[in-house]
Structure 1
Amino acid sequence: MSDLSNTPTAITCLTQGEVILYPTEAVYGLGCDPDNQQAVEALLAIKQRPVEKGLILIADNYGQLLKYVDDAKIPMDKRADIFSSWPAAITWVMPASKNTPKWLTGQFDTIAVRVTNHPTVKRLCQEFGKPLVSTSANLTGQETVISIDQAKAQFTEQVGFYVDEALGGNTQPSTIKDAMTGKIFRG
């Protein structure tokens, strides 16, 4: 029997402030602990993405997102649209909690959040006990990587762990909608 105690896992890497690569509904994503500023800054550096743009959080359930969302500001008449759309590849831009760090919201007073139905991401969020930062695995403005081999060639040692599991089968990244107005930012 081999000793796997020193074998890194995605959860170990997340806990240690590293960036991981994992499958989402349509594309591979780069993710990290949303509460670890150094991890988020490392992810932004890998992606060459300015902090001002803000980031998406992906979760197993809405309860994992409550720390980051100002739930009281979401009108009752909007809740049915939001909660009936999940779990799915629909990201909602919601009012951010006053305690949500600017390294997540960027220049905005909102936070983009998604409750996923992808089994791998659900498992990662359950095991980690909170949401992950989720952004497409590419350099800003370039095509998203389409395989683990391509990801390893592009990101090499910058990524602490590569979760080599299947994509969710969607052909487009998640739809992004404004929770307050219903406006579609990405369809």
Structure 2
Amino acid sequence: MLEVLPADVAALVEKGGVIAYPTEAVYGLGCDPDNDDAINQLLLIKQRPWQKGLILVAGDYRQLQPYIDESQLTAEQLAFAQSKWPGPFTFIMPIKPGLSKLLCGTFDSIAVRVTDHGGVKALCDAINKPVVSTSANLSGQEPALTPATIKEQFEGMIAALVVGELGSQTAPSTIIDAKSGNIIRQG
């Protein structure tokens, strides 16, 4: 398994590779959100049904704008989300028409987050877009917390392991519905 720095992973992601990388709390599996073949590969590796949808994590809010329909949110709703970013808050936001169903599943919304994790920010900056993010584990199992676990579970299945440290979060991000303000999952 190739080990790369966040800034050096762009070519692998752009070619459709699925990568593992450290996030705020656990290792994630990710890929290019605009490449359905890569998303299908990620879902196959994780054994996750496409219907559940996925999360996009960005280094900057502007990277999310091509995927979300801001016109369905009030200025106050957008300001509330932006007041929590960057940070461990994921917001459910309406999608732009035509967004791949592999990203949003059976929903008309998508989960998005602007990270404050330096490695994930560097990764997103390297590919100049958000990255698909789902915990690095087989569906229903505990997320990976070490590079050794990534290598054990995903050797030969992913393009690379991004070198870096996990952030200081001990729980997954809080998930909030951007329209209603309701907390869906407390982090």
- TM interval, short-chain normalised: over 0.9
Distance in 1 of aligned mates of 2:185 and 2:137: 17
Task: State yes or no: 1:147 paired with 2:164.
Answer: no
In structure 2, the residue matched to 1:68 is: 67
Q: Letter of the aligned partner of 1:158 in structure 2?
A: M
In structure 1, the residue matched to 2:29 is: 30
Does structure 2 conserve the Cα–Cα contact (< 8 Å) formed by 1:47 and 1:139?
Answer: yes
Q: Which runs of 5+ in 1 are unaligned?
A: 1-8
Identity %: 49
Q: Letter of the aligned partner of 1:141 in structure 2?
A: G
- Number of equivalent positions: 179
Provide, for residues 35-94 of structure 1, a one-character-per-residue CA deviation record: whole Å limited to 9, x for no partner: 000000000011100000000000011111111000111112212211100000110000
In structure 2, the residue matched to 1:99 is: 98
In structure 2, the residue matched to 1:130 is: 129
Distance in 2 of aligned mates of 1:28 and 1:155: 12
Shift of 1:103: 0.9
SS in 1 for 2:175: strand
Q: Which runs of 5+ in 2 are unaligned?
A: 1-7
Distance in 2 of aligned mates of 1:168 and 1:150: 17
Shift of 1:175: 0.9
In structure 1, the residue matched to 2:5 is: none
In structure 1, the residue matched to 2:85 is: 86
In structure 2, the residue matched to 1:5 is: none
Distance in 2 of aligned mates of 1:37 and 1:49: 15
Distance in 1 of aligned mates of 2:75 and 2:33: 27
* TM-score of the superposed pair, with normalisation by structure 2: 0.93
Give the number of the structure whose alpha-carbon radius of gyration is greater. Answer: 1
Distance in 1 of aligned mates of 2:103 and 2:74: 23
Most deviating of 42-51 and 9-18: 9-18
Distance in 2 of aligned mates of 1:79 and 1:64: 15
Distance in 2 of aligned mates of 1:79 and 1:164: 33
Give the ranges of 4+ consecutive aligned residues of structure 1 lying more than 4 Å apart after TM superposition. Answer: none
Does structure 2 conserve the Cα–Cα contact (< 8 Å) formed by 1:68 and 1:99?
Answer: no
